[in-house]
Structure 1
Amino acid sequence: MSDPNLRPSNWIGLGYLVMGLFTTTIGISLALSEHAFLWLTGQFFIVVAFIQWFSMLHECGHGTLFRRRLPNQIVGQLAGFFALIPFLSWKRVHSLHHRWTGWQDIDPTTEQLAQKPTSRGLISLANFCWRWWIPLFSVVYRLNNYWNLPRLRRRLQAQAEWRRLAFNALLLATIYVTILVFSGPWAILKLAGPGLIGSLIFQDVFLLSQHTHVPQEQSDGREVKPFSSTEQEIFTRSLKFPEWFSRLVLIESDAHELHHVYPYLPGYRLHRVPELESNEMHWLKWAFTVRRIPAEIFLYQNRNESGFDI
């Protein structure tokens, strides 16, 4: 689209950065309090801050939070620090996700769901965590997709690119370890542990809403062509959040169908694009509906197979 009103804006990008820094600062300041109410309030702000940083990471990975490449790179690294995801790994894997959406066994973010595990123990663990809102999946999502360096190596053709990704991941891991050593694990857990867990619980619901249990194609090892961005809508689901939360916290990434059709547009411009025939659910209805479905059905089947109309 050539409409100048749909282009990235440095001022809007700066606004999101300032909001993220403000929420993080308030959250940490309150979480340092010995007063229980202030500490709990701080955890609430930290939950929101973690979600904001993940949203900014997503935009910077697309190069759409700011107009220029450099600020997207800088803020992307900062957002990756708070989101617990190396920025360069995110950028590369997310690019592959957009290329291969619709081919479940090729898309690096969905290929693990293309075949049900044979271990009954793993299936029981998944069912238990999903039933009781234990955020196993947003943790596995990070570790398997963005921190698993051998898996990333198999995905990348150029060794130089893999070295950059590996260096970025190892540097970030070193920073985390240094913080833990000098501050102490208990101090970090008290400061931000509940807020982090709260954000991961939210991301379990949010991330798995986007493509899980939606019918997709299987390549079965065949050489296939990627689906175009306009063809990817049918493989995608959106959630409906309050408008203020969608715009200020999620940067409209909840409009996931529109995002896949227009991946080059900033998320904060998607409300200006005409809505599509939508595979959309209210976020609360989604959250409580899918939690009643066993994980082994929700994760490894689709609605055509299970009969669940989600």
Structure 2
Amino acid sequence: MPNTALQRSNRQEAVGVVQPPSGGDDVLNARRWQRILSNYSTPSRLRSIAELAITALPLVMLWAAAWFTFSLGHAWASLLIAIPAAGFLVRLFMIQHDCGHGTFFAGRLANDWVGRVIGVLTLTPYDCWRRSHAIHHATTGNLDRRGIGDLDTLTVREYRALPWWGRLKYRLYRHPLIMFGVGPAYLFLLQQRLPVGLMRNGWQPWASTMATNLAIAVIVAVLTWFIGIKAFLLVHLPITLLAGTAGVWLFYVQHQFEHTMWDRDDSWDLRQAALHGSSHYELPALLRWFTANIGIHHVHHLSSRIPYYRLPRVLHDHPELRDVGRITLLQSFQCVRLVLWDEAQRRLVSFREI
């Protein structure tokens, strides 16, 4: 047993992950951090407007440049331009994300309407997404309350109890080509055209989704009228699909790392799950800018009222938070093989390991 514990400790140090201490002290620690982080929750109107401008305007310019190069017959150049354009679209989604948390502007009205407009561009109905994302935050790491706003994650016991076709279905769902290839296209182009998961929650999810669909249809119709259906699809689809894949990848890595945290309802604590069940995805500076600091996800989950442009300040002022759930870009690629929660070992494991 001592050797096993030592090997596990060495493995954790090697991947740069700090395990949470066990017991009630950790819960109190998370509560203490929540109080400290509340000091960073005030948004700046000028900063938010500037962030919106330096994200939306370059996206429009790059989209126009991609169409112009395509119209000249340089489809390869258009595809190259799609890469940075997708980066700005991801960043625009992160602004929508902050609006959903009520953190981008001080007033709810400004947050909601900016979020709704951006939702048309990101193909994500804002009010519907905001509700499901709030459920995700309220239930993160709770094994008994999975299913809305998160990725399907089975325990080892649940997987072993499935019939062969259930195991096959889960394996296909978790395959990288499905998760990061087919999955983003299905999510943003098809699934989000209906209020999936909230279809029985009254008229509001339907109103949000259908209003977004109508606005998308109008924009598509206008652009198709002016530039043609072929140009629109070959310019816009690569941007959308690249951004969608990046978004799904980010969401995956933020919670699907080896030493994340899941508990049954009777032993689950929201603050503890927020701090230790979300990663600190340490990205290079350029990627950190395009992803609007969303990699500082453990801090975000513990205090979702902090605007994304204040998250780096939290780590600057409190460097002890840097190593909590820390994953580098290179280490993150190893997370793809982790697909099942082992309740005995309290870590995510691969199919091969079981």
What TM-score range do you get, normalising by the shorter chain? 0.7 to 0.9
Is residue 54–residue 79 contact of structure 1 (8 Å, CA) maintained in 2? yes
Deviation of the 1:16 alpha carbon: 1.5
Pair 1:290 & 2:313 matched? no
- CA change 1:280–1:74 in 2 (3 A) is same
Match of residue 55, structure 1, among 94, 108, 112: 94
Deviates more, 1:272-281 or 1:94-103: 272-281
Tell me which amino acid in the other structure corresponds to 2:145. Answer: I
Is residue 275–residue 298 contact of structure 2 (8 Å, CA) maintained in 1? yes
Report which structure shows greater RCO (CA 8 Å, sep ≥6): 2
Q: 2-side partners of 1:112 and 1:148: how far apart? A: 19
Q: 2-side partners of 1:17 and 1:113: how far apart? A: 34
Tell me which amino acid in the other structure corresponds to 1:283. Answer: L
Aligned to 1:174: 214
Match of residue 105, structure 2, among 66, 72, 85: 66
Q: 2-side partners of 1:82 and 1:36: how far apart? A: 23
Tell me which amino acid in the other structure corresponds to 1:232. Answer: A
Larger radius of gyration: 2
Tell me which amino acid in the other structure corresponds to 1:102. Answer: G
Match of residue 282, structure 2, among 234, 240, 244: 240
Q: 2-side partners of 1:56 and 1:90: how far apart? A: 13
Deviation of the 1:144 alpha carbon: 9.3
Q: 2-side partners of 1:150 and 1:239: how far apart? A: 29
Deviation of the 1:251 alpha carbon: 2.0
Pair 1:212 & 2:256 matched? yes
* 1:216-250, Cα deviation, whole Å (9 max, x unpaired): 1234xxxx59733355212111211123432x322
Tell me which amino acid in the other structure corresponds to 2:313. Answer: R
Deviation of the 1:207 alpha carbon: 1.0
Aligned to 2:114: 75
Aligned to 1:264: 305
Q: 1-side partners of 2:230 and 2:109: how far apart? A: 36
Pair 1:98 & 2:137 matched? yes
Is residue 104–residue 110 contact of structure 1 (8 Å, CA) maintained in 2? no
Deviation of the 1:38 alpha carbon: 4.0
Query: 3-state SS of the aligned residue for 2:124?
Result: coil
Q: CA RMSD in A?
A: 3.2
Is residue 340–residue 348 contact of structure 2 (8 Å, CA) maintained in 1? no
TM-score, normalisation: structure 1: 0.80
* 1:124-157, Cα deviation, whole Å (9 max, x unpaired): 54355x1588523334555898554362034x4x
Q: How many residues align?
A: 291
Is residue 23–residue 48 contact of structure 1 (8 Å, CA) maintained in 2? no
Tell me which amino acid in the other structure corresponds to 1:67. Answer: A
Deviates more, 1:95-104 or 1:229-238: 229-238
Pair 1:40 & 2:96 matched? no
Deviates more, 1:60-69 or 1:204-213: 204-213
Is residue 123–residue 216 contact of structure 2 (8 Å, CA) maintained in 1? no
Deviates more, 1:114-123 or 1:37-46: 114-123
For structure 1, the residue ranges without an aligned partner over 5 or more in a row are none
- CA change 1:102–1:4 in 2 (3 A) is closer
Aligned to 1:187: 231
Query: 3-state SS of the aligned residue for 2:78?
Result: helix
Pair 1:199 & 2:243 matched? yes
- CA change 1:103–1:200 in 2 (3 A) is same
